[in-house]
Structure 1
Amino acid sequence: MSLLEVTGVGVALAGTSLLNNVSLNVGRGQVVSVIGPNGAGKTTLLRAIANDLQPHCGMVELAGQVVASIEPRRRARQMAVLTQHNALDFSFTGFEVVSLARGPHSTGAAMDRRICREAMEAMDVAHLSERLYPTLSGGEQQRLQLARVLAQIWRAEDADGRLLLLDEPVTSLDIGHQHQLMRAIKTFAATGVAVLMTVHDMTLAAHYSDTVVVLNYGRCLASGRPEAVLTESLINDVFATQVSIVPHPQTGKPVIVGC
C-alpha cells in the first residue's frame, strides 16, 4: 500500500469547483510531481492533503489513516509542508528558522541541533546559520525554508511514515540551486520519504520525478512515468502552446522546448 492515498477528492469554495474526483498515490521513497497551468488546482490539492482545506467528497489517507483524524502534533511529525509564500519578518537567524521545525518532537536539544545542522548542510545553507533571515535574498530564504521542512521529518524513527509536500519549491532559485535542491529532495526521498510537489518547469519534473500527474481545471488528465505522460500533444492541449520534446542526451528524459 502507498504511504499517501488520495481517492476521489473534490474541493469547492464559494460554489466554485476547484478539484473534481482527483486520485493519486505516493509510495515511500517516491517523488511525484504535479504539473498544470495556473489555476489548475495544484495548490488546492496540496492544501487538501495537508488538511488545510476540507474536501466535500473523497478521502486522503496517510499510512492507512484518514489525515483529518490524525492528532495534529503527530501529523506534524509525519507530514511537512513548504508553501509558495513563507513570510517571516522577525530577525531570526538562519539556524533559528530551521530550528522552528523541531517543535512537534521531543528528541532533546542536542539531537535537534544535530538534525538542523544536517538539514542545512543538505540544502547548502550551513553558512547562513548566523545570518538574519530578513537580510537574505529570496533564493537563500527559499533554501532555508526547505531545510526547515526537511528537519521537521528528518528521522525515520520519529514517525510511522513521512510525507513531504512542496508547492513550487524552486521559485526564486537560479539554475544551479534548482538542480541542487531537486537532487537534495531526491536524496531525501531515498531515505523512505514520500514526496509530492508542484512544479512549473516540466523538464525539471521529468528529470527528478518517478511519476508526473497532470491537472487541468481541477481534474486529473494523466498520471504515469514522465516519458509516457509528457507528450507534445498533451502539453500543447493543456498549456495552449506549441512545444517540442527531445530526449536529454545523457539521461534520455524528456526535455520540453518551446517553439
Structure 2
Amino acid sequence: MSKVIVAEDLCYSYSRDAGYSFELRSINIEITKGSFVSVIGRNGSGKSTLIKLLAKQFGSYSGNIFLEGKNITEYGKREFAQKLAYLPQNVSVVNEGIVVVDLIMLGRYPAKGALEFVNTSEDRKIVHECIEQLGIGEIAFKKFGEISGGQKQKVLIALTLAQLDISSDLHGKVFIVDEPLTFLDVNHQYEVFNLLKAFNKRGLTVISVIHDLNIALKFTDICLLMNNGSVVKLDNTEDVITEEMLREHFLIESRITEFEKNFFINYLT
C-alpha cells in the first residue's frame, strides 16, 4: 500500500510563559493511504502538536513532511487545501446567526484561487453533497446558533470537508480532526464516527486524536501512541491498545475482551 503522509526526523519545540516548554522529538511515521488512524496518549504527550504539523499549521520545524510524495513546503495553499483538510479541537463561529448552508459554503474558500468566485454551480453541488452525506438537510437553512451541539459538530465536519470536494474520488485525500467528540453525547459520538468511517470506506484517509479508547478500537484500523513528545508505537489498533500498554502509559488496570470481532476495554481501577 502506498503512503499518503510520511514524516522524517520531525522535530518541533515551543515555550510559553511561566517557564513551560515542550519538544516533539525525532518523529518518523508513515501513514498508509486509505487508513483510519487514531492518535492517542495522555494529556500533554504531543498529539495535537503532531497533527497540527502534519496539517501545515506550523512553519518553524526541522525535518520533512511529505503528502503524496511531495514535501508540504512545496505545496501552494490552494493545492494543499484540495488534498488535506484540518478541523481543530475548538472552532469558534463568530457569527452564530449565519445560516448553516452559507457556513458550509465558506469551506470552499481554501480550495479556490485568490481571484476565483465562490458559490459557483460546482461549489453549490459540493456543498449539497456535504449536506446530504452528513445527513443535515433538515437544518441546512437554520441559523448555526439554533442547532444542537451534535448537529454543530456535523456542520463543522461538513464545512471542513467541503474544501476536499467529497463528491469526487477521495483516494489520496486526508482529513485530520482533533478530538471530534468533545462535549458530545454517546449517541452523537457514534454518529460522528460512523460518518467518518463511511468517508474512510470511500478512500479518505482519516487521522483523529481520540481520548475514548473504546471508540478507537471500534472504528480505527491504525493507532499511533504518543508519550512525552515521541511516538511510542504505530501499528494495528488492537496491537497498540493492549492491557500492558494501558498499565504502562495510562496507569490503569484493564481487561480487553472480544465479542463478535469487536474489542472492548473494561477498566478495573
SS at match of 2:145: helix
SS at match of 2:90: coil
1:30 aligned residue: 35
Structure 2 CA distance, aligned partners of 1:101 and 1:76?
Answer: 10
Q: CA deviation at 1:139?
A: 2.1
Structure 2 CA distance, aligned partners of 1:190 and 1:127?
Answer: 25
Of 93, 97, 102 in structure 2, the residue corresponding to residue 96 of structure 1 is 102
1:13 aligned residue: 14
SS at match of 1:3: strand
1:250 aligned residue: 260
Number of residue pairs the alignment of both structures matches: 257
1:226 aligned residue: 237
Of 206, 209, 218 in structure 1, the residue corresponding to residue 220 of structure 2 is 209
Q: What whole-Å deviation, never above 9, does each CA across 1:22-45 have from its counterpart, x for those lacking one?
A: 222222221111011111101000
Q: Structure 2 counterpart of 1:232, which letter? A: E
TM-score normalized with structure 1 length:
0.91
1:44 aligned residue: 49
Structure 2 CA distance, aligned partners of 1:216 and 1:233?
Answer: 15
Q: What whole-Å deviation, never above 9, does each CA across 1:88-122 have from its counterpart, x for those lacking one?
A: 13121111111111122469622222221221222
Q: CA deviation at 1:158?
A: 8.1
SS at match of 1:121: helix
Q: What whole-Å deviation, never above 9, does each CA across 1:203-222 have from its counterpart, x for those lacking one?
A: 11111111011001111111
SS at match of 1:9: strand
Of 111, 119, 125 in structure 1, the residue corresponding to residue 122 of structure 2 is 111
Is this contact kept in 1: 2:85–2:164, CA < 8 A? yes
Is this contact kept in 2: 1:80–1:152, CA < 8 A? yes
Q: Structure 1 counterpart of 2:31, which letter? A: V
2:63 aligned residue: 58
SS at match of 1:84: coil
Q: What whole-Å deviation, never above 9, does each CA across 1:56-77 have from its counterpart, x for those lacking one?
A: 3221110111112210111111
**Does residue 137 of the first structure (1) align with residue 148 of the second (2)?**
yes
Structure 2 CA distance, aligned partners of 1:39 and 1:170?
Answer: 18
TM-score normalized with structure 2 length:
0.88
My pick for the range that moved more, 26-35 or 211-220, is: 26-35
Structure 2 CA distance, aligned partners of 1:135 and 1:86?
Answer: 16
- RMSD across aligned positions (CA): 2.1
Residues 158/68 of structure 1: CA separation in 2 closer, same or farther (3 Å cut): farther
Residues 51/201 of structure 1: CA separation in 2 closer, same or farther (3 Å cut): same
My pick for the range that moved more, 153-162 or 98-107, is: 153-162
Q: What whole-Å deviation, never above 9, does each CA across 1:141-199 have from its counterpart, x for those lacking one?
A: 11110111122213475899311111011222222222222121122122222211110
SS at match of 1:182: helix
My pick for the range that moved more, 93-102 or 114-123, is: 114-123
SS at match of 1:80: strand
The percentage of counterpart residues that share the same residue type is: 25
Q: CA deviation at 1:257?
A: 1.8
Structure 2 stretches lacking a partner, 5+ long: none
Is this contact kept in 1: 2:33–2:171, CA < 8 A? no
Q: Structure 2 counterpart of 1:214, which letter? A: L
Structure 1 stretches lacking a partner, 5+ long: none
Of 174, 188, 200 in structure 2, the residue corresponding to residue 177 of structure 1 is 188
